[in-house]
Amino acid sequence: MKIKNVEAFWLRCPIPPAKQHRSDYGLLTEFDMTLVVVTTESGLQGFGEAKAAVGSSGSCASIVSCVENELKPILVGQDVRNISRLWEMIYNGTRDHYALNRGRKFPILGRRGLTVSAMSGVDTALWDIKGKMLGVPVVELLGGACRDSMPAYASGGWAGADKIGEQLLSYTAKGFKGVKMRVGIMDNTVHESIKRVKAAREALGDSIKLMTDAHGTFSVPEAKQFCRGVEDCNLYWFEEPISPDNKVGTAEVRASTAIPIAAGESEYTVFDVRDLIDLRALDVVQPDSAIIGGITEAMRTAHLANTYQLELAPHCWGSAFSFMAGVNVAFAAPAATIIEFSLGGNPMMYDLVEENIEAVDGQIAAPTAPGLGLTPNWDFVKEFKQTVR
């Protein structure tokens, strides 16, 4: 089972005006993603997502170039079944033989950033192929599902204080028992963020889990002020309170509050997550399979979370492919108890694939289809593929 080809497609699809929202990233009018396709000599294909940005919109030209010009030459002709070996070959480059011989890393300079994002898409596609080869979902390859189903939380919440309750209640009306709202610089002041959270909790009552996400936009003092202001709102977690580059500051915020701190969606490889844990900076670990290094590295992160008795909550805001990658990891991980489910305008979640992705009464069932269980809508790919020069 040799690899014959590795391709990457930058897709950009407009978001219908009625489903657009404004956050600290601005008004999101388009959704971008990089679809990575690995094809074997027998014609079997696997699919993954590589991210150029955590948000919905961003140029993917550099990701496409990295996949096709840097990673493809390494992968073509290799045995598609050797996922761990291929991960090490990409991560260690020309010194991969040392890494495999000595059992430790000899990483390339691009061990963070877009190179790891690009290999994330490739790695996920390899897991997809292996599941299809064996006729089992990826979760079976990771050790099997810990649960038959898991609750999902509705991820959205951009409305102002006067409308946030109504917006979040529209989520719970669909059966979700947990919701996440955005706070931070988009509100201009900490006071306004606090006001919106208080309005949300009042509307939801005490039985609904409420999470907040600042997208890393508060300063350390602002994050502390926010925590003090919402300490009676029973937050399930406070996500990315400050810049992910300031891990010491994140630890300082966590030490100042009893509110659980979540982070990890902006991190590359398990080494970054290890550093957060060493600093006692978080309670909830959120790897993104399209950023951290694929399903391989997301699962290593899951084992780390389990070892340190931290909750795992994979970041699943993206296309159907990164969503299902996160779902398979979550079901295989004892530390995961809840799954993110995007309620923003997301054509990459629903129109990119033939399958219907849904949470039934706020629950997601354990995967059963081979691989990731997804089939690209090639008409959609053709229509929204961007030219990369």
Q: Give per-residue pLDDT as tens, 211-255.
A: 999 999 999 999 999 999 999 999 999 999 999 999 999 999 999
Q: Give per-residue pLDDT as tens, 119-145.
A: 999 999 999 999 999 999 999 999 999
- Cα angle at 55 between 213 and 162, to 5 degrees? 45
Q: Which amino acid is at 360?
A: V
Q: pTM value?
A: 0.95
User: Residue 360's CB: how many other CB atoms inside 10 A?
Assistant: 11
Q: Give per-residue pLDDT as tens, 310-367.
A: 999 999 988 999 999 999 999 999 999 999 999 877 888 999 999 999 999 999 999 9
Q: Give per-residue pLDDT as tens, 54-76.
A: 766 678 899 999 999 999 999 99
pLDDT classification of 21: cutoffs 50, 70, 90: low
Q: What pLDDT score was predicted for residue 15?
A: 83
Q: Give per-residue pLDDT as tens, 286-318.
A: 999 999 999 999 999 999 999 999 999 999 988
Residues 6+ apart with CB under 8 A from 268: 111, 112, 113, 116, 117, 291, 292, 293
> Does position 107 have pLDDT exceeding 70, yes or no?
yes
Q: What pLDDT score was predicted for residue 60?
A: 86
Q: What pLDDT score was predicted for residue 16?
A: 82
> Does position 31 have pLDDT exceeding 90, yes or no?
no
Report how far residue 46's alpha carbon sits from residue 56's, in angstroms, rounded to the nearest whole number: 23
Q: Give per-residue pLDDT as tens, 163-213.
A: 999 999 999 999 999 999 999 999 999 999 999 999 999 999 999 999 999
Q: Averaged over 107-121, what is the pLDDT?
A: 92
Residue with tokens 């949300």: 200
**Among residues 160, 173, 168, which one has the least CA distance to residue 210?**
168
Q: What pLDDT score was predicted for residue 17?
A: 79
- Share the mean pLDDT of the chain: 94
> Does position 29 have pLDDT exceeding 80, yes or no?
no
Sign of CA dihedral 189, 242, 150, 364: positive
Q: What pLDDT score was predicted for residue 19?
A: 78
User: Residue 113's CB: how many other CB atoms inside 10 A?
Assistant: 13
The DSSP secondary structure of 36-74, one letter per residue, reads EEEEETTS-EEEEEE-S-SSS----HHHHHIIIIIIHHH
More confident residue, 250 or 26: 250
Range with the lowest mean pLDDT among 39-48, 98-107, 264-273, 288-297?
A: 98-107
> Does position 110 have pLDDT exceeding 90, yes or no?
no
Q: Name the CA radius of gyration of the chain, rounded.
A: 20
What is the greatest pairwise CA distance in the chain?
Answer: 61
